[in-house]
A and B are shown apart, each in its own frame.
Chain A
């Protein structure tokens, strides 16, 4: 995609993101979740798509963001918005620190072993949170009430999550245009070669994970407030839902492409909502089938499929 159409799509999405809550207020919660999914897919793709490290543990950073916000909002004794801002900042700091720590420990292992190691991370975090009384243990935590007028809360969090998605997109887009983006690809294609060519691969990998963690933590703090309640296993460290979806959305859209994760998140979320609406009772079966179809028929994702079609057309043209 060239630069011009990049900006066109971005413009269209901004109009959608800012306009739709007013045009169709009933969709506002869905839209908020959509932006959350976009952040999930983009941050996952940075490691899974660009760097070739399939992480099943990214949900940990989201959960850290949820809990950090909730604890600060509960204990800081500050007005709502100040406490929220402080909670988001603390969540981001903790998540980045966790990414540094886990990165140093886990990013040295490769391939399936890395995937399994990170899977353990998510499960462990959920179990710790579910057993820790300070954060409500198994009964979770309730977030404070939003102080504004009735309905204002939904708008606030929808726009906040939208802003996070936009900033995340622009940040990653910029990063992928630098040498750092090329270095991620080099690590994906042949890490030993990258090492032997003098790239400081460990630093690069850990830094990438820190960036993912940062955006996941911010979106986690906002999402916790939007939902209003944190359950350790079903919201904060929801590895079986959010944690798997972020992988699927990136693959569906096209790993390692700029728009793939965004597109994948939109298609996935809309499809999933349609399943809930029209196939109630069977929605999980339909979702499972969708996953199988994605992996079997679109291993390169929508963007990969488009690129293939385009290459075939250009190849066929005289």
Chain B
């Protein structure tokens, strides 16, 4: 497996606060990587640095071998690197079906390609993906009227609609009804295995991330604390210390 994403010594400061301090990590093609860490450890900031929503102060990010830290969010997305947000971001006044239609990869094209109706194939795919996340009967509902958990599912489906190579998910299970979490884990796995999407997942729910991820990176105070398989992370004294504060 080759490295799809390589983060090398990325540093991000907000005034005097160093949110990311020379963080390095790699995500290999085809894997599900986990990113954990206590609140304020810099996980979401790192997502912003990788996907171009935050300019980095130092270091470099390589996506499929190409340096991307000088690019903005749009060009990075068009390369096939996408993220979701912890506080979901969907198009609130548009129906779920419209949310999906405009998230299709064809919408990346120039103006001329936009001046066409949404193709039937895209509508079918949008319906399939809505069914995949369990929102099919909500397809004509306005996105803003969905519950928070449903919006998270919609945002996930929109991301899949975009056919990313690498998808960064920021707490995909937060706000989701606990009884549905197992179903969501299954869907993340299927997106990875069947649709071939490499995943990097921020997650606070330890049961979820330990089950889901092949490898986990743990951040604390803006630095990489530990890296390894779920079993290794689970037994790492420094990780336990960071989470529980035991000396």
Interface range for A: 20 to 34
Judge whether A180 is part of the interface by a CB distance below 8 angstroms.
yes
Which B98-137 residues sit within 8 Å CB-CB of chain A? Answer: 98, 101-103, 105-108, 110-111, 113-118
Contact A196 B53 (CB under 8 A): yes
Q: Mark A170-181, 1 if CB is under 8 A from B, else 0.
A: 000001011110
Contact A196 B102 (CB under 8 A): no
A-B contact number at CB 8 A: 99
Contact B94 A179 (CB under 8 A): no
Judge whether B173 is part of the interface by a CB distance below 8 angstroms.
no
Contact A198 B93 (CB under 8 A): no
Which B64-84 residues sit within 8 Å CB-CB of chain A? Answer: 72-74, 77-78, 82-83
9 closest A-B pairs by beta carbon, nearest first, are: A198-B77, A189-B91, A182-B102, A193-B89, A180-B114, A198-B108, A196-B73, A198-B78, A179-B114
Judge whether A309 is part of the interface by a CB distance below 8 angstroms.
no
Provided the pairs A182-B98, A189-B91, A189-B94 are in contact, do residues A196 and B115 lie with their beta carbons within 8 angstroms? no
Judge whether B51 is part of the interface by a CB distance below 8 angstroms.
yes
Judge whether B90 is part of the interface by a CB distance below 8 angstroms.
yes
In whole angstroms, what is the CA distance A207 to B117 when docked? 17
Contact A195 B106 (CB under 8 A): no
Judge whether A188 is part of the interface by a CB distance below 8 angstroms.
yes
Residues on B with C-beta less than 8 A from A199 are 74, 102, 107-108
Q: Which of A177, A178, A189, A203 contacts B93 (CB 8 A)?
A: A189
Nearest A residue to B119 via CB reads A179
Residues on A with C-beta less than 8 A from B153 are none
Contact A179 B91 (CB under 8 A): no
Q: Which of B89, B93, B110 contacts A192 (CB 8 A)?
A: B89
Judge whether A110 is part of the interface by a CB distance below 8 angstroms.
no
Judge whether B200 is part of the interface by a CB distance below 8 angstroms.
no
Residues on B with C-beta less than 8 A from A179 are 101-102, 106-107, 113-118
